[in-house]
Amino acid sequence: MTTVLPRAQRGLSLGDAAREFARHPSPWMLGGLLVAAAAARLLLEDWRLSDLLAPAAFLALFPVVEWLVHVFVLHWRPRRLGPVTLDTQLARKHREHHASPRDVPLVFIPWQTLAGLVVVVPALALLAFPRPHQALAFVVTVAVVGLVYEWVHYLVHSDYRPRSRAYRAVHRHHRLHHFKNENYWLTVTSAHTADRIFGTDPDPADVPTSATAKDLHGLQGTGH
C-alpha cells in the first residue's frame, strides 16, 4: 500500500522560487544577522580552531533541536490556567500553517518572533562563550542554519519539483507530515534523522491518515 501525496504543479523554476523567497521578511532579517555577525568576526581576527567547536556541535545536533522545537513549541497545545489561555504566536501561526499549507507567508517564521531572536541569540552567545570570537562564529552558524531552514521549508511548500535524491527525500518526508499524519515525520531540513531516533519515522503504509493533519489538536471552532 502506498501513500499518495498532493503533487506539485509544474513550471516553477528555482529562480522563480528564489524571487518569491526574497519577498518575505525572514530571509532579510536572517541575512542581516549573518552579514553583521560575519563582519564583526572578520574584524576581530585572531582565528582559532577551537572557535569551530560550538558551530560543529550545533550543526550535528540541529536535527534533534529541530525535532524538539517542532514537537514542544510549534505543536504546543493551548492550555487553560484559570481564566488565562497559555498559547504562543509561534504555535498559533503553525496551526494556521497546517490548516493552509500553501499559504506562503505562513511558511516562514513570524517576523515578530524572529525580531526577538536576532537580538536574543547574539546576546546569549556573547554571555555564554568566553571569547566574542566564539560567540560570533556561533551566531554566524545559527543565521546560516536559519536561512537554510526557511529556504527548504518554503521550497517544500512551493510548486518547485524536487530533482536531487536528497531533496526528494526531504520533500516527501515533510509532505507526509502535512498530508498523512501530523504526529510523525517532524524534521524539516533532513529526512530519517532525528525522527528515527525518536520513533517518528514509520513506514507510511503502517500509519493511518490523520483527520487532524490540517486541524492540529482538533481546535478549529473552539476559539483557539
> 130, 117 in Cβ contact below 8 A?
no
pLDDT at residue number 220: 66
pLDDT at residue number 184: 98
User: Letter for the amino acid at 121?
Assistant: V
Give every CB contact of residue 214 below 8 A, 6+ residues apart in sequence.
98, 99, 100, 101, 178
Using CA atoms, how far apart are residues 89 and 98, in angstroms rounded to an integer? Answer: 14
C-alpha cell recorded at residue 221: 471552532
- Which residues of the chain fall short of a pLDDT of 70? 1-11, 220-224
Polymer length of the chain: 224
pLDDT at residue number 221: 54
pLDDT at residue number 81: 86
> 88, 116 in Cβ contact below 8 A?
no
Using CA atoms, how far apart are residues 75 and 217, in angstroms rounded to an integer? Answer: 9
Report the predicted TM-score, pTM, of the whole model to 2 decimal places.
Answer: 0.91
pLDDT at residue number 162: 84
pLDDT at residue number 224: 53
pLDDT at residue number 82: 84
pLDDT at residue number 9: 44
pLDDT at residue number 117: 96
pLDDT at residue number 217: 87
pLDDT at residue number 93: 96
